[in-house]
A and B are shown apart, each in its own frame.
Chain A
């Protein structure tokens, strides 16, 4: 796909408060977590830059958008039924947080970062390894779950991304969505849970530099972000 879909808005900010520190530090220790108060508000739009409507999303289909940075993929799903609301979950550090639940008229639209909570496998423009499947996974045995095909961890998108099958030990980070009841439009406004953006950047820095230009992968998106069916986002979509 054309990267300019994601990069045509103006960007000055860097993704993550840790960016400057990370650049200065050779090690991977002692970096602060992604600064949640920097999270941008991004309207979810289609390829033609028109706001997408929650009710127009195909039920159980996998969509991808980038949030909050030009390089950080998220999965957008409209599940078959409303999810519970205000679900308490526990992050990597055993601290509890609240996942607000699905949005939209049917309360079933959810979004999660497509960066695995186990070993940072992610959905790239080349390959998507994390997908939602209603059917039972051949490798994790889970149903109606987001399975990461690398090591078969499975997560429940209707329950705050909770782990339903290991080896992952904590939920996927969730994207907070706002839904406008009048227009049926969606806006991504933040992240909850274990946000692995700093880990992701540190782990893939060389690859991301090659793909986006030196340091450019940290650029925060502004204004809007494009939602694509997963088959248009990745050359190869792995379902397991």
Chain B
């Protein structure tokens, strides 16, 4: 009986499920436009909790609201308190716990356990002396300096928006809402941690052979080396678990992420010749998640399972709040590129993967920017100026699981033009780098929480 009803729900579920979730998505979008359309007038249309003060103690100093608890937001919340102990910092984050995207490829290959990726917001807030409000930003009235959240509104002196990314499925030719939901739920990208990652891990464990499709997006996407590292980690998982499968990696670029291209290409050919099928210069035109095919400008490829990474965009709330730059294809925010404040408003900052500068969108880079942004806000509060500090990108990529071996790049950015400077590269995969990869991530967690 159990088995039968299980099968039934699974078999039936597909179409019905798509239909239902498509409808609810549309409903949510419709509701969203009412809420976030025009600040001020919109709030009057909201009843319930959002229009009451959030349940917070009275501010003890200049109130800084940090929206988002990722590598950017968590770092900024912690370091705002370090830069100015008088700041009353509230971090608004809807997820019940933190889970990191960085290092997650290692979990797919069983090199770390899930617990390594997970961290507690209650502990982080308690240790660093800020307040975590488990909620979501709904609207913002920048004139009144009031942030409306799902848990009530908060009046602020400064606000930092670090809500992360959303996916743009139109970039890979998927626009039908039912198909978008099918893509999100059946072949998740795995760059917004939580359910997407659990789903991919489960896929790998259930995989019994054939083509496992992964893709590289266009644009400045989250974690430039990650799709190549992921291909290696999944291939290594197949190799070590006797799975007769292939990772098909579709890349619109001519080669893997430039500084590390030699290291990745060496791993592909020397370690995974039978496991990775790398297609450079291949633009995806469309994906059919029901037929399980992807169409490129060259041909149509069948896949057995997949984790499909479309182009990213700044989280939709940035566009909804009118903060996106008009000509930005990823809807990133229109901010001062040296000080991160929304043009003309030094009380509102946009950070993390919503900023438009071409720096690497990685946890490590966002963390280093977070330190600087906290200093900027403290300086503004103190009436001081502050010298620009380059973000720091430090990045190991694991390319082998047995033995664990990684490659490395470290870089800063030029003040004018933001090109790479001070680059250190180690494309010779080594066990030393493999061991350092773990400690690199551990250090980041220590700094964020």
Contact = CB atoms under 8 A, between A and B. Distances in A.
A binds B: yes
Interface of A: 26-29, 116, 118-121, 127, 129, 138-141, 149-152, 166-167, 203, 236, 238-240
Interface in B400-449: 408, 410, 424, 426, 428, 432-433, 435-436, 439-440, 442-444, 446-447
A129 B435 CA distance: 9
A137 B127 CA distance: 35
Nearest to A204: B446
Contacts of B54: none
A149 B410 contact: no
Contacts, number: 71
Interface string B364-375: 000010000000
Given A149-B432, A149-B436, A167-B368, A139 B410 contact: yes
A127 B438 CA distance: 11
A59 B127 CA distance: 43
Contacts of A28: 127-128
A108 B368 CA distance: 36
Contacts of A141: 424
A139 B394 CA distance: 10
A203 B127 CA distance: 10
Contacts of A151: 394, 440, 443
Contacts of A139: 408, 410, 424, 426, 433, 436
B39 interface: no
B368 to A, nearest CB: 7
A120 B443 CA distance: 7
B193 interface: no
Given A27-B126, A28-B128, A139-B410, A238 B436 contact: yes
Contacts of A116: 443
A238 B424 contact: no
B392 interface: yes
Contact of B432 (A26, A167, A240): A240
- Name the residue among A120, A127, A129 with the largest chain B CB count within 10 angstroms: A129
B252 interface: no
Nearest to A26: B126
B362 to A, nearest CB: 13
Query: Sorted from nearest, which 7 A-B pairs have the closest CB atoms?
Result: A119-B443, A150-B439, A149-B436, A138-B426, A28-B127, A238-B432, A150-B443
A169 B151 CA distance: 39
A143 to B, nearest CB: 13
Nearest to B424: A141
8 contacts: A27-B127, A121-B443, A139-B436, A150-B440, A151-B440, A236-B435, A238-B436, A239-B432
A150 B392 contact: no
Interface residues of B, number: 24
Nearest to A28: B127
A119 B444 contact: yes
B262 interface: no
- Name the residue in A28, A121, A150, A240 with the highest tally of chain B Cβ atoms < 10 Å from its Cβ: A150
Contacts of B410: 139-140, 152
Contacts of B433: 139, 149, 240
Nearest to B412: A166
Specify which of A26, A118, A152, A239 lies most central, judged by the most chain B CB atoms within 10 Å of its CB. A152
A39 to B, nearest CB: 25
Contacts of B440: 150-151
A238 B435 contact: yes
Given A121-B439, A138-B424, 12 more contacts: A26-B126, A116-B443, A119-B446, A121-B443, A127-B435, A129-B439, A138-B426, A151-B394, A151-B440, A151-B443, A152-B408, A240-B433
A29 B426 contact: no
Nearest to A142: B424
Nearest to A138: B426
Residue among A27, A118, A239, A240 with most chain B CB within 10 A: A240
Contacts of B446: 119-120, 203
Contacts of A26: 126
A138 B128 CA distance: 35
B210 interface: no
Contacts of B444: 119
A167 B428 CA distance: 22
A208 to B, nearest CB: 14
Contact of B394 (A167, A236, A238, A239): A167
Contacts of A121: 439, 442-443
Nearest to B85: A29
Contacts of A167: 368, 392, 394
Contacts of B435: 127, 129, 149, 236, 238
B22 interface: no
Contacts of B81: 29
Interface string B126-145: 11110000000000000000
A63 B419 CA distance: 40
A149 B81 CA distance: 29
A130 to B, nearest CB: 10
B436 A166 contact: no
A240 B424 CA distance: 12
A27 B129 contact: yes
Nearest to B408: A139
Nearest to B445: A119
A141 B424 CA distance: 7
B392 to A, nearest CB: 5
Contact of A240 (B128, B129, B436): B436
Contact of A150 (B424, B428, B436): B436
Contacts of A166: 392
A200 B128 CA distance: 15
Contacts of A152: 394, 408, 410, 424
